[in-house]
Amino acid sequence: MARANGFHFLQIPGPTNVPDRILRAMAAPTMDHRGPAFQELGRHVLQVVKPIFGTKSHVVIFPSSGTGAWEAALVNTLSPGDTVVMAETGHFSSLWTEMAKRLGLDVRVLPGDWRRGAQPEAIAAALDADKERRIKAVCVVHNETSTGVTSRVGEIRKAIDATGHPALFMVDTISSLASIDYRQDEWKVDVTVAGSQKGLMLPPGISFNGISEKALAAHKASKMPRAFWDWTTQIKSNADGMFPYTPATNLLYGLKEACAMLMDEGMANVFARHQRHGAAARKAVAAWGLETVCQDAREHSGSLTAVWLPEGVNADKLRALILDKFDMSLGNGLSKLAGRAFRIGHLGAFSDLQLMGTLAGVEMGLKLFGVKLKASGIEAALESLAAAASERGAVRHAAE
């Protein structure tokens, strides 16, 4: 078997490709996490991460995968037996739901068909019907990574406001933060859940809670048992730039660099880039004569595109073929979508030309696998990207 040359195309929707700038920033000796050099780093990252969340409030950082930040959101704000509403959007909302049940919460699931986002009307109806105000929190996954559907968080906020219900609003932004427009303060999100290995362009290993004042007040009254995840001990240490236990120091070097890169590009440009790549990928899918999993034009994701395959075409075999022939990893179909869909990740550190390489690999794979294509998706994506390029200014060379 010949050895592959050039870059491996890691086109799963997270973990994403880590840019050289960030890899170099993390290649540092381990340090005294109670010393003055760390304190300076701690103070810095705890501040520069805030604009990425669109907040001026606290953001705490845990040494964990995103799942830890899900747990932290629940155990820091709720009490045993509290009722929470979970909007079913796909695999990830189902995992968060399962976790809430295991923690002893009373979970009301708003069912979904995995092809649409959380429905603002359904959330409003659930809150309106709750005359006794038993519901303590509404939980939504902003970008459902299993389906490529982005829920309309701003509209959900408006729907919640219209009911006058005091429930907390918690949003999982693990695959949308630093990729898809998100505004914690403006949308009055009480807890934002995030992770390092997707839009933030870092390796896996740190997770985040963005915390509103209202969430902090709920925290003071909440009675769920918690120790490792406790916000109070985090916030107390963070006031001096420190952490209550050993933080993932080298990942924080990477975070500092990631925030600098995002600010340098400008968040509006970052969001536009992801949108453009989503739009071009969908042009390719449509030209091939295939369907995206997402069925609502308002909810297409800028982070990834999930492609629905015709009956009888096994998505996992197709992905295995593409990995073997072209050294590219694509995302698998998760739970209900296993074997039926595959996912093209286009988030994080990514360019027009990388997207074209990715789509070329998918198109060649589809042809080799014997899937009948209507037309060239490459052609369609090229036109879409070229049209977008003619509209915008020059970019500074990435190596500069």
Ligand X SMILES: *Cc1c(COP(=O)(O)O)cnc(C)c1O
Q: How far is the CB of 384 from ligand X (least distance, A)?
A: 25
* Cβ nearer to ligand X, comparing 67 with 79: 67
* Cβ nearer to ligand X, comparing 271 with 288: 271
Q: How far is the CB of 123 from ligand X (least distance, A)?
A: 18
Q: How far is the CB of 382 from ligand X (least distance, A)?
A: 29
CA distances to 258, 260, 305, 349, 352 from 21, in Å: 9, 10, 27, 11, 19
In whole angstroms, what is the distance from residue 172 CA to residue 118 CA? Answer: 12
* Cβ nearer to ligand X, comparing 136 with 198: 198
* Cβ nearer to ligand X, comparing 171 with 366: 171
Q: How far is the CB of 243 from ligand X (least distance, A)?
A: 19
Buried b (16+ CB within 10 A) or exposed e, 64-91: bbbbbbbbbbbbbbbeeebbbbbbbbbb
* Cβ nearer to ligand X, comparing 54 with 66: 66
What phi and psi, each to the nearest 5 degrees, are found at residue 147? Answer: -125, -15
In whole angstroms, what is the distance from residue 102 CA to residue 80 CA? Answer: 11
* Cβ nearer to ligand X, comparing 172 with 363: 172
In whole angstroms, what is the distance from residue 226 CA to residue 370 CA? Answer: 53
Residue of minimal Cβ distance to ligand X: 66
Q: Which residues bind to ligand X, rule: CB under 6 A?
A: 14, 65-67, 92, 141, 145, 172, 174-175, 195, 204
* Cβ nearer to ligand X, comparing 347 with 355: 347
Task: Return the DSSP state at 300.
Answer: B
CB 323 within 8 Å of CB 339: no
In whole angstroms, what is the distance from residue 149 CA to residue 127 CA? Answer: 23
Q: How far is the CB of 144 from ligand X (least distance, A)?
A: 6
Q: How far is the CB of 7 from ligand X (least distance, A)?
A: 22
- SS3 (DSSP) at 394: coil
* Cβ nearer to ligand X, comparing 141 with 261: 141
Q: Determine how β-strand 149-150 pairs with β-strand 143-144.
A: antiparallel
Structure tokens at 188: 């009055």
Distance of CA 126 to the CA centre of its chain: 26
Q: How far is the CB of 368 from ligand X (least distance, A)?
A: 29
In whole angstroms, what is the distance from residue 172 CA to residue 73 CA? Answer: 10
In whole angstroms, what is the distance from residue 91 CA to residue 141 CA? Answer: 10
Q: How far is the CB of 294 from ligand X (least distance, A)?
A: 14
